[in-house]
């Protein structure tokens, strides 16, 4: 089973990396109002089915992959 | 009777850098400085423990996120839960936040630049085992050297838990917070490096006030146990 985790800085958390990316895109002539930079974590795991895999990856997010104070996460099971 | 020498451990994780300076500084301040390897599940009868600066486990994922699961950190958690004294410096502060032993998180510096210079900080309270040799409001000059030092407190942080504040904020920390303690006051973390500032030859010996406070407190606990 493969899963993808998207980790984002929570709304309201200052993201200087995103600001730097947004300003660089602006300098290239792109009309960007806001940019935020997060992380992608691709996983391969053993699980009985999609529901079990999702629950397992959510536990991983709670325990390690995201820091709940500063980051939100989204789990996608990609089969 | 000679004054007893308290035993203060310094944990070395893979990627720790300031463990030797911390050991040296504690020994210079008349503690018995005890190296602790990160694989040790039990701490060797210590009166206090220091988590040093560096880049534990390469700072992968988030600073301190992996070190939090090391056997020595589990032992440090038990010591802290039992009221033992724990001081986290720089990466050690990040580890304590990730482990939930201190509130908040440390994020990339607002400037995105690594800062490496001496900065003045103000002592907010001197009733802690880490600040007893300072007066409240005293200014200390301590070196900082970090890329991820922007402190973000949880929304419900009790302002009394702020121990040190930057005079000129070098990293965008909320409220200029440079060091915090837990509610009980036996665990403290700070981004500046007191262990690099214990001799005037190094530019400042203000760090000795913080570390000597810790040595005093640890010695006090030895005496109380006799």
A16 vs B104, B105, B108: nearest CB: B108
> At B87, which helix (H) or strand (E)?
strand B85-89
Name the class of domain A2-77.
alpha beta
Q: Measured between beta carbons, which residues in chain B are less than 8 angstroms from residue A20? A: 112
Write down the domain spans for chain B: 7-225
Q: Which fold has domain B7-225?
A: Rossmann fold (3.40.50)
Searching chain A, which residue's CA lies closest to the CA of residue B153?
A69
Integer distance in angstroms from the first to the last C-alpha of chain A? 5
Please, are residues B40 and B71 in contact by the beta-carbon 8 Å criterion? yes
pLDDT by 10s per residue, chain B, length 226: 557 899 999 999 999 999 999 999 999 999 999 999 999 999 989 999 999 999 999 999 999 999 999 999 999 999 999 999 999 999 999 999 999 999 999 999 999 999 999 999 999 999 999 999 999 999 999 999 999 999 999 999 999 999 999 999 999 999 999 999 999 999 999 999 999 999 999 899 999 999 999 999 999 988 888 7
pLDDT at B2: 59
CA distance A16 to chain B (A): 6
Q: Measured between beta carbons, which residues in chain A are less than 8 angstroms from residue B108? A: 16-17
pLDDT at B225: 82
pLDDT at B100: 96
Instruction: Note if B60 is an active site residue.
Output: no
* Three-class SS state of B84: coil
Tell me which of B38, B124, B146, B193 is the catalytic residue.
Answer: B193
Mark yes or no for CB contact B107/A70 under 8 Å: yes
pLDDT at B168: 97
Mark yes or no for CB contact A67/B98 under 8 Å: yes
Q: Which residues of B147-158 are buried (b: 16+ CB within 10 A; e: fewer)?
A: bbbbbbbeeebe
Q: Which residue has the tokens 């309270």?
A: B125
Mark yes or no for CB contact B112/A13 under 8 Å: no
pLDDT at B140: 98
Tell me which of B90, B97, B134, B181 is the catalytic residue.
Answer: B90
> For the whole model, what pTM was predicted?
0.94
Taking each helix axis as running N to C, give the angle between helix B207-225 and helix B19-28, from 0 to 180 degrees, rounded to the nearest 10. 70
Mark yes or no for CB contact B110/A14 under 8 Å: yes
ipTM of the complex: 0.87
The low-confidence residues of chain A, meaning pLDDT below 50, are none
What are the structure tokens assigned to B18, written together?
């300031």
A16 vs B62, B69, B110: nearest CB: B110
Instruction: Note if B63 is an active site residue.
Output: no
Instruction: Note if B181 is an active site residue.
Output: no
Q: Measured between beta carbons, which residues in chain B are less than 8 angstroms from residue A13? A: 107, 152
Write down the domain spans for chain A: 2-77
B105 vs A14, A65, A69: nearest CB: A69
């Amino acid at each position: 089973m493969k899963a993808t985790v998207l980790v984002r800085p929570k709304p309201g958390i200052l993201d200087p990396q995103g600001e730097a990316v947004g300003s660089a895109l602006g300098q290239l002539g792109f009309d960007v109002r806001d940019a935020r930079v997060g992380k992608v974590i691709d996983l391969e795991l053993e699980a009985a089915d999609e529901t079990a895999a999702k629950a397992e990856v959510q536990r991983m997010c709670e325990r390690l992959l995201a820091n709940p104070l500063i980051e939100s996460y989204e789990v996608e099971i990609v089969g | 009777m000679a004054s007893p020498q308290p035993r203060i451990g310094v944990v070395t994780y893979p990627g720790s850098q300031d463990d030797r300076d911390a050991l040296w500084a504690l020994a210079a301040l008349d503690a018995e400085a005890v190296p602790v390897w990160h694989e040790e599940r039990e701490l060797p009868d210590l009166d206090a423990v220091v988590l040093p600066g560096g880049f534990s486990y390469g700072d992968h994922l988030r600073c301190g996120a992996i070190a939090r699961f090391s056997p020595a950190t589990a032992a440090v958690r038990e010591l802290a839960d039992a009221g033992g004294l724990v001081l986290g410096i720089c990466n050690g502060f990040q580890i304590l936040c990730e482990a939930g032993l201190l509130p908040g998180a440390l994020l990339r510096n607002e400037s995105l630049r690594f800062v490496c210079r001496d900065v003045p900080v103000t002592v907010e309270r001197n009733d802690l085992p880490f600040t007893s040799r300072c007066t409240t409001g005293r200014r200390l000059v301590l070196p900082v050297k970090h890329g991820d030092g922007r402190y973000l407190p949880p929304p419900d942080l009790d302002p009394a838990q702020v121990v040190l504040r930057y005079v000129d904020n070098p990293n965008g920390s909320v409220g200029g917070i440079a060091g915090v303690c837990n509610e009980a006051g036996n665990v403290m973390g700070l981004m500046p490096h007191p262990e690099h500032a214990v001799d005037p030859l190094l530019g400042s010996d203000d760090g000795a006030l913080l570390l000597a406070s810790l040595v005093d407190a640890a010695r006090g606990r030895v005496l109380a146990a006799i």
